[in-house]
A and B are shown apart, each in its own frame.
Chain A
Amino acid sequence: MSQVESIAHDNHAVRVTSITVGMGPLSGVEEQLLKNAYPVASAGTIADGADLQVRLTPLRVRCTKCEKESEAKPNRLVCGHCGEWRTELISGDELLLLRVELDKSTQAVH
C-alpha cells in the first residue's frame, strides 16, 4: 500500500482506481487471501475502493541438462522433458506490483 500511495502521490492523483499485482505459485502468497486482506489494507488510503487485479504468473523451469523449458508444479520442479532435477526457475516466485491506475482528473469537478 505504501508503494501504491507513493506512486499516486508522485503522479498527483486524487484517487487510485485499480491495482494490478503479479504473483507466482512459489511467491508464498495466496491469491484469495490477498483479495480477502485487500479491503482492510486499502481502507482509508488513496486506494480505498480501488479494484484489485491479480495476474498469476506461470511456474516455468529451464533444464540445465537438455536446456529446454517446461511447466512445473510447486513441489516438482524437475524438467518436463528429460526428468533432470537440476533446473533453473524462470518464473513463478515473483510477487510484483505491476500497474496502478490513477484518477488525476481535477477538471472532473467543473
Chain B
Amino acid sequence: MKNPTLRRALVVTTVVGATLGGGIAVAAWTSSGSGAAGAKAGTASAPTTGTVDAAALTTGLLYPGVQGTALIRITNPNPYPVKVSAITANGTATATGGTGTCAGTGVTWVAQQPNSPLAAGATATITLTNAVSMLSTADDGCQGAVFSIPVTVTVVSQ
C-alpha cells in the first residue's frame, strides 16, 4: 500500500474492531448465563402432592349432575419457580365417609390448566372450581363422602 495514511487507518480499524468485538463477545456470553438452562433440565424433579382435608369444604360440594370444587396440595421440589400448567385424570376416584355404598366411578375429573405459580421449594394448596363432575346416577350413599381422585400434575419451569 503506497498511501501510509490509508494503511494506518486500515490497520487501526482492524485492530480496534477486533478488540471491541472481543469485548462484546465476552459481555454477551456472560449475560447469557453459564449454562443454566442445561443445569435446570438436568436436575428437574417431578412435583409431589400432599393430603388435603376436603371435608372442610363448604362450597362447591358435589351432588348428582353438578360439578364441584377440588383441592390439591402441590410441592415444587425444584430450586426454581414453576407454573402448574395442567392437572389431568389418572385413574378412578375412591370415596370414604359416605352414608352408604359409594362407587368412585360416580365422579370424574375435569382437566384443569390452573397456570398457578409455585415458588422454588414451595408448597401450596390450589382450589379448583368445577374440577370434578358427579354423574346424575351417583350412588345415594355418596352423600357426605370425600373423594380422593388420582391425577397427573404437570409443571413447567418459569
Note whether A and B form a binding pair: no
Seen from chain A, the residues whose Cβ lies within 8 Å of a Cβ on chain B are none
Seen from chain B, the residues whose Cβ lies within 8 Å of a Cβ on chain A are none
